[in-house]
Amino acid sequence: MASLREIKTRIASTKKMKQITKAMEMVAASKLNRAQANSQAYEPYTQKIREVVTGIAASNSDASHPMLEERPVKKTAYIMIFSDSGLAGGYNANLLRNFMETVKQRHKSTDEYAVIVLGRVGRDLLKKREIPILDEITGLPDQPSFQDIKNVTRLAVNMFADEELDQLYLWYNHFISPLQQNVTETKLLPLTDLTDSQEEKAASTSYEYEPSEEAILEQLLPQYAESLIYGALLDAKTSEFGARMTAMSAASDNAGDIIDELTLSYNRARQAAITQEISEIVAGSAALE
C-alpha cells in the first residue's frame, strides 16, 4: 500500500495535470469559435462559385475542359488533412483507419496512388506505413489563409491537368459538433458532378458571359477546385479544435475522478494511521499500569 506521502504527491501532480487540461480545453474552445466562424463565412463564396460554374456547364452542352472529363484511371491522388499536433482524441486515427481500409479495397499496389498530406501528425503516420507522399505541408496556422495552401492546391490541379493524375480525392474530418466529426471523402477531380446534377441545372441562375463561357470556365474551374480544398481545410480545422476540446474535457473529468479516489485513499490511510497510533498509546498505557 502506498504511503501517505506518496498518495499526497500523486494528488498534487494530478491536480496540476487537471489545471493544464482545463486550460487546453478553454484554448481549444476559443479556437473552435473562430474556426467555425471562418468556415461559415467562407461557405457563401464556395456556393456562389459553384453556382456560376454549374450554370456555365449546364447551359453549354459543348463545354469542354480537362477538369470535366473522365479518363481511364491509372493513378489516383488523395489530399488528406490531418493536424500538426496531437491530444485531439481520435481525430487523426479515425481518418487514417478509414483511409487505409479504402486503399486496400481500391488499389493493389502503391504504384496506383499517392497522397498529398497536410499536417505533421498525418505525415508521420503515413511515412511509418510507407504510403507514397507527393507533397506535404506542416506548421499551418490555427486560422489558415488561402496563401498557406496555394502551392499544394496548384500542384494537385496542375498534375491532373497534365494527366499525371487521373483522379483526385479529398479526405478530412467534417465538423458536425464538438462531440462528432465524420470522416469525409469528396471526389475533387474530375468535376463530373457539375454536369450530372439535374437539380442544380434547373436551379442555376441565368448569366450573360463576357468574353465567352469557355474563357470564363477556363479561369473558374481551377479556382473552384482550389476553393473546395481550402473550404475543406477550414472545416477540418473546426473539427480538430472540437475534437481537442472534447478530449481535454474528458481528460479533466478523468483527472477529477482520480483526485477523488486518491483523496478517499489518503483519508482512509490517514484514519488507519491515527487508529494505529491510538491503539499503540492505549496498549502502552495498559502496560505501565
How much of the chain, in percent, has pLDDT values that exceed 70? Answer: 89
CA distance 229 to 227: 5
Name which residue leads in pLDDT, 201 or 20: 20
Whole-number pLDDT of residue 155: 86
Nearest Cα residue to 1 out of 226, 250, 273: 273
pLDDT, tens digit (0-9, with 9 covering 90-100), for 223-281: 888 888 999 999 999 999 999 999 999 999 999 999 999 999 889 888 887 887 787 77
Q: 176: which 3 cell numbers? A: 458536425
According to the model, what pLDDT value does residue 161 have? 83
Strands 180-189 and 167-177, by their bridges, are antiparallel
Q: What pLDDT sits at residue 199?
A: 43
Summarize pLDDT for 166-214 with one digit per residue, the tens: 999 999 999 999 999 999 999 888 877 665 544 444 444 566 767 777 7
What span, in angstroms and rounded, lies between the C-alpha atoms of 256 and 88?
19
Within its chain, how far is the Cα of 273 from the centroid? 52
> Does position 220 have pLDDT exceeding 70, yes or no?
yes
Which domains, and CATH codes, for the chain?
24-246 (3.40.1380.10)
